[in-house]
Amino acid sequence: MIDAVNSTLGVLGLLGQIAAAGLLVAVVAAIASPRVRARLVTSWSALQRQALWAAWGVAVVATAGSLFFSEVADYIPCQLCWYQRICMYPLAVTLLVGALVRDRLAALYSLVFPLVGIAVAARHIYIEANPEAESASCKVGAPCSTKWIEEFGYITIPVLALTAFVLILILAGIALIAGLKADRGGPPDTD
């Protein structure tokens, strides 16, 4: 069962990377062309809600995956894993509350978590690739260089975290921009 869940999370990570790339292409296209923006955005309010709910969904899957790794698979979280959890777990709450109460600024309140999480996950990936760069504090308990999973030859737990943080950051950014545009009240093709 553990291998099946690891593989499933690896596939979800790969799909998340594809989704992040697709969203970035769509955002750039929407910025560059009012015509593309009009096709992609029929309602700023709807886009804001959808992006916020999608970001929450990513945070919930990442949180559940994190808990699976430690509570079911018995992978011991290292120091950097804990820092990534500190950045991810609040997102499952703040994004849900923001989506439920339709707070247009909920994405803004949540942005600091994926920004810090990206930095920590990037450092963790670097340490996995370069174990000699591991600090003494990382070696205590569970070493930060331990690769508990490795799917598709590169997807490890910090790669999954980085993917989730980047996807949440993109979706939160879209939700924030769409919320601000909705407040201005203009149709998507005239902004």
Phi, psi of 157 (to 5 degrees): -60, -45
Distance CA 187, CA 37 (A): 10
> Tens place of pLDDT for every residue, the chain, 191 residues?
899 999 999 999 999 999 999 999 999 998 899 888 888 888 888 889 999 999 999 999 999 999 999 999 999 999 999 999 999 999 999 999 999 998 888 899 999 999 999 999 999 999 999 999 888 877 777 899 999 999 999 999 999 999 999 999 999 999 999 888 887 765 555 44
End-to-end CA distance of the chain: 50
Distance CA 131, CA 21 (A): 29
At residue 185, the pLDDT reads 66
At residue 188, the pLDDT reads 57
Domain ranges for the chain: 2-190
At residue 184, the pLDDT reads 75
3 state SS for the chain: CHHHHHHHHHHHHHHHHHHHHHHHHHHHHHHHCHHHHHHHCCCHHHHHHHHHHHHHHHHHHHHHHHHHHHHHCCCCCCHHHHHHHHHHHHHHHHHHHHHHCCCCCHHHHHCHHHHHHHHHHHHHHHHHHCHHHCCHHHHCCCCCCCCCCCECCCECHHHHHHHHHHHHHHHHHHHHHHHHHHHHCCCHHHC
At residue 191, the pLDDT reads 44
pTM above 0.85? yes
Query: If DSSP codes are grouped into helix, strand and coil, which group holds residue 142?
Result: coil
At residue 189, the pLDDT reads 53
